[in-house]
Amino acid sequence: MATSRCNREWYTSCGGDIDNESSCFKILHERSGHGARVGELRTGHGCVQTPVFMPVGSQATVKSLAPGDLRGIGSDIILCNAYHLYLRPGVEIVEEAGGLHGFMAWDRAILTDSGGFQVFSLAPLRQIDDDGVTFRSHIDGSEHRLTPEKAILNQEGLGADIIMVLDDVPSGTADGPRVLEAVERTHRWAERCLAAQRRSNQLLFAIVQGGRDLDLRRLSARTLSSLDFPGYAIGGLSVGESKASMYSVLEETVPLLPSGRPRYLMGVGSPEDLVEGVWYGVDMFDCVLPTRVARNGAVYTRDGRRNVRHADFKHQFGPLDPECDCYTCRTFSAAYVHHLFKCEELLAYRLATIHNLRFMHRLMGDMREAISQGTFAAFRDEFHARYRPTDETVRLAQRRRHRVTSTWQADDSER
């Protein structure tokens, strides 16, 4: 983003030299042979070190956690969802409270998704045209209209540091004319969002679409790059395609995005996908996966995911993960957390969520360190040699089942 589009006082207050810096994103380390890099993203509520994982707080809260928990984990940025907040409590209420930062007592950076994915997932409840989309609320059936201009107006009212364009999101199984239509409409809407933006202290990110079609992905990346957005997201992935397909899209798309702007992979949060995303040059990630699986008793370790509900945890009086420094692992035994889950005590969800988000934060920190030291290739190999991901067939089946049963639970409406 050119500094002429940054608010001067805001930019310098978070460490920028307005005369020497041409962007609100600075690359600190990058190595030849792969795309991974370490960067610093300057926002109105502090600087964010990248690559970074953003916890999801769709309704202005990361489920089961307070802002102090997030600060203790080490989070400098979280994601909130404009669709859910538009429906309740309403943008006007949040704006009256001083924006999201004042409303939820969070003094660090916030990114808001425009809500495009949520709206376009409402297949039986919405109608799309070139001007925008008319949809019915999943809460009470009331009718609403969302246009690119309204998406920007909503997010400006919410007051996030980073906001997203409204995009047309085709289904994961779409191909041919529907994907081309979505790409072309996304490009037109991106221009309208750029023209509609009035606040100078928010970074507006474009979203690359194209499904699994590599030619359309290349077209979308090149077209949006020419519009000179402050940042670029890759949308429409992790929606049921294979991991090989997702990695192929990243390999082709990421190098076409401007190197001096942050790159954001939307809705992707499996640890193995974070490592691969960073390898290809992605800087930012978000996903509900760590918080959702935590509430179901699954905890992350460098060896893979483990279910703390299993009986083998009953006599484990050490921490959930001996390598972890989170509040949960420093304070409680795995046997105690197992007991809480068996009794369905609410504390179980908080403790497991703290652990999983801290795992993500530590993983990103370790990757930043490895990139800085020039050892990321070895780190990647060692990670994959040790980490046991969820079986691909099981993963896809669980995703399909989850989308049918709980798509519109607020923390679970993910990209």
Show which residues are catalytic: 113, 286
Nearest CA to 258 out of 225, 224, 280 is that of 225
CA dihedral 66, 70, 73, 77 (to 10 degrees): 170
Are 217 and 250 contacting, i.e. CB atoms less than 8 angstroms apart? no
Cα separation, 307 vs 311, in Å, equals 9
Cα separation, 144 vs 132, in Å, equals 11
Cα separation, 128 vs 174, in Å, equals 16
Are 164 and 112 contacting, i.e. CB atoms less than 8 angstroms apart? yes
Cα separation, 226 vs 239, in Å, equals 27
CA dihedral 166, 171, 174, 177 (to 10 degrees): -20
DSSP string, 362-395: HHHHHHHHHHHHT-HHHHHHHHHHH-BPPPHHHH
Cα separation, 273 vs 222, in Å, equals 24
Peptide bond into 271 cis (omega under 30): no
Q: What are phi and psi of 154, to 5 degrees?
A: -60, -45
Nearest CA to 232 out of 288, 160, 162, 175 is that of 162
Are 90 and 323 contacting, i.e. CB atoms less than 8 angstroms apart? no
Integer angstrom CA distances of residue 226 from 57, 131, 221, 389, 415: 32, 22, 9, 38, 25
Written as six digits, the tokens of 188 are 């037109």
